[in-house]
Amino acid sequence: MSIEVANESGVDVDEPALVALARHVLVELGVHPLAELSLLLVDEKAMTALHERWMNEPGPTDVLAFPMDELDPVPRSGRGVEEDAEPPPTLLGDVVLCPEVARRQARTAGHAAEDELHLLATHGILHLLGYDHGEPAQEREMFRRQGELLASARSIGRSGQEPA
């Protein structure tokens, strides 16, 4: 799995921890091991420009997701494809994070800025994989899955190894 990080934010971020979290999320979600993901960290000015251009909303936001390749579900038996067929390698897209906004949100939420960045990265990856929160049922599913992924990532972080 290729996970590239470009930190253009001017904020010191634990990039290896962010990559480990992203890798965990992708593995847990069954993403092909040859998939590619880009994590871009930007300052508030750059995030504001992206937010206004792509979402038509003023000011900075915490995370934006820009999917690249559309993921197709794997066809199952009865359609001439093996049961264990895997999706092909794909370029998932870009998750853009703003550490300055994350830091403010973390302070308000009462947790560490790194925890907020991990939450936002997980949220962005879920968006790349088709999750959304436009409808109440979608929101419940996305935030449930997000919570599960973050909890399992934290348990790995404490033990230093993948759960059995």
For residue 123, what are its two tokens? 């949220």
Closest CA to 99 of 115, 112, 111, 117: 117
Q: Domain 2-71+87-159 belongs to what architecture?
A: 3-Layer(aba) Sandwich (3.40)
Question: What pLDDT, on a 0 to 100 scale, did the predictor assign at position 87?
Answer: 57
Q: Which of 18-22, 62-66, 77-81, 154-158 shows the lowest mean pLDDT across its residues?
A: 77-81
pLDDT for the residue 75: 39
Q: Dihedral, CA atoms, 21, 72, 140, 156, nearest 10 degrees?
A: -20
How far is residue 65's CA from residue 123's CA, in Å, rounded to a whole number?
Answer: 9
Q: What is the pLDDT of residues 81-109, one digit of tens each?
A: 455 565 566 789 999 999 999 999 999 99
Closest among 10, 106, 112 to 62, alpha carbons compared: 106
pLDDT recorded at residue 69 = 64
Q: Kindly tell me if the per-residue pLDDT of 114 is higher than 50.
A: yes
Distance from C-alpha of 159 to C-alpha of 98, rounded to nearest angstrom: 29
Residue 155 pLDDT grade (very low, low, confident, very high; cuts 50, 70, 90): confident
pLDDT score at 156? 75
pLDDT of residue 76: 36
Q: Which pLDDT belongs to residue 90?
A: 78
Q: Directed axis angle between helix 44-55 and helix 99-109, to 10°?
A: 90
Residues for the chain: how many in total?
Answer: 164
Strand pairing report for 36-41 and 2-7: parallel
pLDDT of residue 84: 57
pLDDT tens by residue, 8-64:
999 999 999 999 999 999 999 999 888 999 999 999 999 999 999 999 999 999 999
Phi and psi of 21, rounded to 5°?
A: -65, -50
Residue 158 reports pLDDT greater than 90: no
For residue 70, the model assigns a pLDDT of 57
